[in-house]
C-alpha cells in the first residue's frame, strides 16, 4: 500500500511530510502552526538566503569545519534552486511571513530544502539527511539570529537597486518636461490662492529636484544595510563560529551580491538592534511623503477640465465612469497615491517591529523583512507605471495657463516696487471688484509708461530661471 507522505522526526517527535516535498519536519510544523496570510517569503529574501547558505558553506570549508564534498553539495543545491523559476519557490519555501519570532522556521526551511536537494544530487532519498544534514552541515557556524538579519539586509539591497533607478528615471522625466516648458508662464499659488507669476517649467523642475534628493536618501539607507552581523551566532558572542569563518563570510557574500558589504563593529549590537532596517525604511517614508505631495499637485493642476484648474493635460488611460460617458479620471495618479499610503503603512510596521527588540535579540524580524520588501517592490512598480503611463505623456494647456497668468491680480506684485504697496493693493482690490485685470487698470490710468510696463511684465523679469 503506497502513501503520499513520509515520516520525519524532529525534537518534538514524528510528523508527516508530503512524500515529494523538498522541505522537512520543521517546515511542516510551520505550515501547520502559521496558516495566517496565505503568502510566502518575498523572492528577494529567498534569493538572499540561498546566497548566504552558499557563502557559509565556502567559509566553513575554508575554516576546516565542513568537508569539501559537503560544501560542494550545498553550493550545487543552491545553484539548482536559484535556477528554478521563482514561481516554484512558494511551494518549496511555503513558510508564511507571519511566523514565530526571529525567523527560525524560515531558516530551517532553507536548511531542509538545501539538504534534501544536495542529498538528491548525491543519489539519496528525500528525508534521509545524509550526507547533508540541515543543522550539522547547511547551518554550520550559523544561527537564525545572525542569518535572518543578514539575509534581510541583502534582500533589501537587492530589491532596492531597481527602486533607486526608477526614482532617477522619474526625476529625469520631470526634468525633461521642465526644460521644454520653461518659457510657459503660469500663475503661482500659495495657500491655494493666486500668488506671484512663475514658469510652468520652474514648478515641474522642483519635482525633479526633490526626486533626485529622494534617490540620494535611498542610497544612504542602502548603505546602512551593508553592515552585517553575520558570524555573531545567537547573541553576538560568536559561539561555535570559527575565526576563519568570520573573516571569510563577508568577502564571500560581497562576491555573490556585488555589494560592498562590511562587518558590524559590534556583533552584540547587531543582534540587539535592527536600526539599519528602519533607517532604510524611513527613506521610503520620506520618498512616499514627497511623491504623495507631487501626485496631489498634479491631480489638482489637471482638475476639470472645464470647472477646475486644467493647467496640465493627463494621458487618458481608461474610461473614468460607469455612468458618466466621456469622463476621464487621473487614474494613474490615484493608483500612485494609494501605493504611497500603503508604503507608509508598511514603514510604520517596520518602525514598530524595530523598537520591539528585547535584550539580546529583536525577534520581530520576519514581519520587518516582509513589510520593507513589499514596500520596496510596490513603490518600484508604481514609480515605473507613473512615469511611463502619466508623466512622460503630460502636456501643458497653454491657453488656460496664459489666461490665468494674465488675469491673476497678484501679477501686481511685480509692480509694487514701482507703485508702492498701498497703491498696488488698491489696484488689486479694484480689479477683483470690477472683474478686470490689474494691468488694464495700470494702462487705463497711465501709472507706468507702456514701454516700462512691457519690460516689467516680461517672463524673464517676472520669473527669472536662476534668481540671484
The Cα 290–Cα 275 span in angstroms is 23
Q: Return left, alpha or beta for 116; rule: phi > 0 is left, psi -120 to 50 is alpha, else beta.
A: alpha
Residues with a catalytic annotation lie at 321
Q: Cα separation of 298 and 393, whole Å?
A: 13
Helices (H), 64-187: 68-83, 89-92, 104-121, 144-180
The 3-state DSSP class for residue 14 equals: strand
* Cis, peptide link before residue 131, omega less than 30° from 0: yes
The answer to whether residues 357 and 272 touch, using CB atoms and an 8 Å cutoff, is: yes
In terms of Cβ atoms closer than 10 Å to its own Cβ (0-12, 13-18, 19+), residue 131 is middle
What span, in angstroms and rounded, lies between the C-alpha atoms of 110 and 134? Answer: 8
* Cβ-Cβ contacts under 8 Å for 238 (sequence gap 6 or more): 231, 232, 246, 267
d(CA 275, CA 148): 15
For residue 400, give the nearest of 294, 306, 299 by alpha carbon.
Answer: 306
Distance of alpha carbon 159 from alpha carbon 376, whole angstroms:
7
Question: What is the rounded CA–CA span in Å between residue 395 and residue 204?
Answer: 12
Q: Could you identify the residue written with the cell 508604503?
A: 343
Cell of 5: 507522505
- Longest Cα–Cα distance of the chain, Å, equals 107
The rounded distance, in Å, linking the Cα atoms of 133 and 113 is 10
227-228 and 13-18 strand pairing: unpaired
Question: Nearest Cα to 82, choosing from 50, 111, 39, 53?
Answer: 50
Residues 6+ apart with CB under 8 A from 403: none
DSSP codes joined into one string, 390-425: TGGG-EE-HHHHHHHHHH-GGGGGGTHHHH-HHHHH
For residue 71, count other CB atoms closer than 10 A to its CB.
20
Q: Are 341 and 355 in contact (CB under 8 A)?
A: no
Amino acid at each position: 500500500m503506497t502513501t503520499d507522505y513520509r515520516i520525519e522526526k524532529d525534537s518534538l517527535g514524528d510528523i508527516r511530510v508530503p512524500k515529494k516535498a523538498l522541505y522537512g519536519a520543521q517546515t511542516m510544523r510551520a505550515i501547520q502552526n502559521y496558516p495566517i496570510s496565505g503568502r510566502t517569503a518575498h523572492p528577494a529574501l529567498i534569493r538572499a538566503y540561498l546566497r548566504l547558505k552558499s557563502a557559509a558553506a565556502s567559509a566553513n570549508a575554508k575554516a576546516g569545519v565542513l568537508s569539501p564534498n559537503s560544501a560542494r553539495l550545498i553550493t550545487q543545491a543552491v545553484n539548482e534552486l536559484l535556477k528554478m523559476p521563482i514561481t516554484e519557490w512558494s511551494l518549496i519555501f511555503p513558510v508564511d511571513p507571519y511566523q514565530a519570532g526571529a525567523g527560525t522556521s524560515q531558516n530551517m526551511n532553507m536548511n531542509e530544502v538545501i539538504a534534501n536537494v544536495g542529498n538528491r544530487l548525491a543519489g539519496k532519498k528525500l528525508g534521509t539527511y545524509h550526507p547533508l544534514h540541515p543543522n550539522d552541515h547547511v547551518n554550520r557556524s550559523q544561527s537564525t539570529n545572525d542569518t535572518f538579519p543578514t539575509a534581510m539586509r541583502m534582500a533589501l539591497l537587492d530589491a532596492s537597486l531597481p527602486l533607486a533607478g526608477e526614482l532617477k528615471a522619474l526625476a529625469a522625466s520631470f526634468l525633461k518636461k521642465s526644460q521644454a516648458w520653461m518659457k510657459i508662464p503660469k500663475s503661482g499659488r500659495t495657500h491655494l490662492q493666486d500668488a506671484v507669476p512663475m514658469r510652468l517649467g520652474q514648478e515641474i523642475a522642483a519635482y525633479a529636484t526633490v526626486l533626485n534628493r529622494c534617490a540620494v536618501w535611498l542610497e544612504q539607507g542602502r548603505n546602512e544595510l551593508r553592515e552585517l552581523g553575520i558570524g555573531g551566532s545567537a547573541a553576538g558572542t560568536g559561539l561555535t563560529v570559527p575565526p576563519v569563518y568570520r573573516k571569510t563570510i563577508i568577502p564571500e557574500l560581497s562576491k555573490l551580491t556585488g555589494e560592498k558589504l562590511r562587518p558590524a563593529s559590534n556583533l552584540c549590537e547587531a543582534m540587539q538592534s535592527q536600526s539599519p532596517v528602519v533607517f532604510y525604511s524611513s527613506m521610503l517614508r520620506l520618498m512616499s511623503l514627497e511623491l504623495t505631495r507631487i501626485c496631489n499637485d498634479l491631480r489638482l493642476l489637471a482638475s476639470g477640465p472645464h470647472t477646475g484648474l486644467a493647467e496640465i493635460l493627463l494621458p487618458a488611460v481608461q474610461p473614468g465612469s460607469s455612468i458618466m460617458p466621456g469622463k476621464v479620471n487621473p487614474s494613474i495618479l490615484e493608483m500612485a497615491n494609494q501605493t504611497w499610503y500603503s508604503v507608509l503603512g508598511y514603514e510604520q510596521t517596520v518602525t514598530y517591529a524595530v523598537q520591539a527588540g528585547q535584550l539580546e535579540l529583536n525577534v520581530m524580524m520576519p514581519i520587518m523583512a516582509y513589510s520593507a520588501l513589499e514596500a520596496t517592490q510596490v513603490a518600484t512598480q508604481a514609480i515605473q507605471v507613473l512615469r511611463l503611463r502619466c508623466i512622460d505623456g503630460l502636456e501643458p494647456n497653454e491657453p488656460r495657463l496664459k489666461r490665468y497668468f494674465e488675469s491673476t491680480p497678484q501679477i501686481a506684485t511685480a509692480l509694487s516696487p514701482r507703485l508702492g504697496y498701498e497703491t498696488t493693493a488698491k489696484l488689486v482690490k479694484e480689479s477683483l471688484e470690477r472683474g478686470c485685470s490689474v494691468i488694464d487698470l495700470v494702462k487705463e490710468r497711465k501709472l507706468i509708461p507702456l514701454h516700462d510696463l512691457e519690460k516689467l511684465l516680461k517672463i524673464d523679469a517676472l520669473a527669472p530661471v536662476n534668481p540671484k
